[in-house]
Structure 1
Amino acid sequence: MIKFFRQIRQRLITDNRFSKYLLYAVGEIFLVVIGILIALQINNWNEHKKERKLERKVLTELLTSLKQNYNRMISDSIKRSNWNRSSDIVITILERGMAYSDTMNKHFQDARKPGTNLSLSFAGYEGLKNVGYNIISSDTLRKNIVELFELTHKTLLEEMEYFESFQPDRQFYIDKLFSYEIDKYNPNDPFNVPIYPNNYPALLQDSIYLPMIKSVTVQRNIIAELQYENIKETQRLISLIENELYELKK
């Protein structure tokens, strides 16, 4: 092909047809430019295709983390609600000075739990950070992802960590007042062994235990509000990502 164009150009020069040669030269340059532009366009298209494929991969990994977090927070919320119910029962019994019953032992166990051991997955988000935030083509989606992981999730976990350290002697004090029902120990559920008071009349008069249980209940309620916001925002972001993945498949 190159040889063919050279022959035409040489014939025009030999025949002294300069105007036609000039026109031909301009046309040849135009074809070269068009070829370069087409090549660039194809290259840009291929790069865009690679980036969108990577974006789908990153969003899919994020979606996995978000669904794990959503399920963990729902499960934690249910446990937190049960523990609060036990706290309410214990508080009512002690404030009214009611007689002891061994049916209270499970509630004594659950009432002491602060509920601050929630673990959230940041794997998908770390993957996004490694690739680069700009791989997310939607500005709105990118902003929502960063806000959830950097602000909403971290605020919840930081508050949990704070409350965990709020009463460092809580377990020590519980161990002084209560003993475990060893015969009800279950290796598959080791943290739910019922506890019974060593001296129930003394427990009724104890000036520390009841305020401590009330404080733990307040802490759980504060965490519950933060967790509700996290659940709501996580659910919203899951929907946004699922919609974006659907659009990227088109």
Structure 2
Amino acid sequence: MENKTSKYIKYAVGEIVLVVIGILIALQINNWNESRKANLLQNKLLTELSKSLEGNCNVMVQDSLKRVSWNTSSDIIISFIEHDGIYSDSLNLHFQNARKPGTNLALSSAGYEGLKNAGFNIVSSDILRNNIIELFELSQKSLLEEMTYFESFQPDRQTLIDELFSYDELKFDPNQPFDIPLIPHDHNALKYDTTYLSMIKSVKVQRSIIGVLLNKNLKESQRVLRLIKQELE
């Protein structure tokens, strides 16, 4: 009886150990599956975010190049007015470019919103997670807010342009619809219009300030993009 009892106890203990081991293995497999799912979701969201950032970087680079061209046009028009320059049709496109404040910038936040909806904790790296949040909640948000702020500076800018210029509609290009040359009604009188000159100088200053914020946001976006690609690798 003692031998049978001892064997039964050993058998029961063995059964319990096997059950516990089975449970632990099942939990481990479940944890592995959950971790794998979380990793796949993280990679999917980071891939979508990287595409948004790549698009944003391209937009900001193109916008920066435009600002250089617009600033050149501003300098040409300011010089024409302040140094009593000789008018020619070649100035008409510069008149158009000089009035552009550069406050229209379409930056995508689709990838970021997808990550926010899934929960930021899906990103396993604390450094990457914090950098992504700072980019969209601080750097990019500040840039867009400053653009909105500067756009409110001169609500009558278009009215002034319409009073002083007419559009050369014959040179309308559907591929560049915002680059229609402006023809001054009186180019000599324009040289003595202090309101127009002040507007052109103000626009250039605003454009330059936004340009500084734009370049900062571009560098931050490129840096975060590199961090994302490192995480995906």
Q: Structure 2-normalised TM-score? A: 0.96
Q: Secondary structure at the match of 1:193?
A: coil
Q: What residue number does 1:170 align with?
A: 157
Q: Deviations over 1:35-76 (max 9, x none)?
A: 110110000001101110111100100011000000000011
Would you say 1:82 and 2:81 are equivalent positions?
no
Among 117, 129, 137, which residue is 1:130 paired with?
Answer: 117
Would you say 1:161 and 2:148 are equivalent positions?
yes
- Alpha-carbon shift at residue 190 of structure 1 (Å): 1.8
Distance 1:147 1:171 in 2: 36
Would you say 1:35 and 2:22 are equivalent positions?
yes
Q: What residue number does 1:73 align with?
A: 60
Among 177, 188, 199, which residue is 1:201 paired with?
Answer: 188
Q: Secondary structure at the match of 1:191?
A: coil
- Alpha-carbon shift at residue 196 of structure 1 (Å): 1.7
Q: What residue number does 2:200 align with?
A: 213
Question: Structure 2: 5+ residue runs without aligned partners?
Answer: none
Distance 2:24 2:30 in 1: 10
Q: Structure 1-normalised TM-score? A: 0.90
Q: Secondary structure at the match of 2:153?
A: coil
Distance 1:91 1:207 in 2: 11
Larger Rg: 1
Would you say 1:143 and 2:119 are equivalent positions?
no
Q: Secondary structure at the match of 1:190?
A: coil
Q: Secondary structure at the match of 2:210?
A: helix
- 1:11-50 matches, within 5 Å, as 17-50=4-37
Which range is displaced more, 220-229 or 173-182? Answer: 173-182
Q: Secondary structure at the match of 1:179?
A: strand
Give the paired residue count. 233
Distance 2:192 2:8 in 1: 111
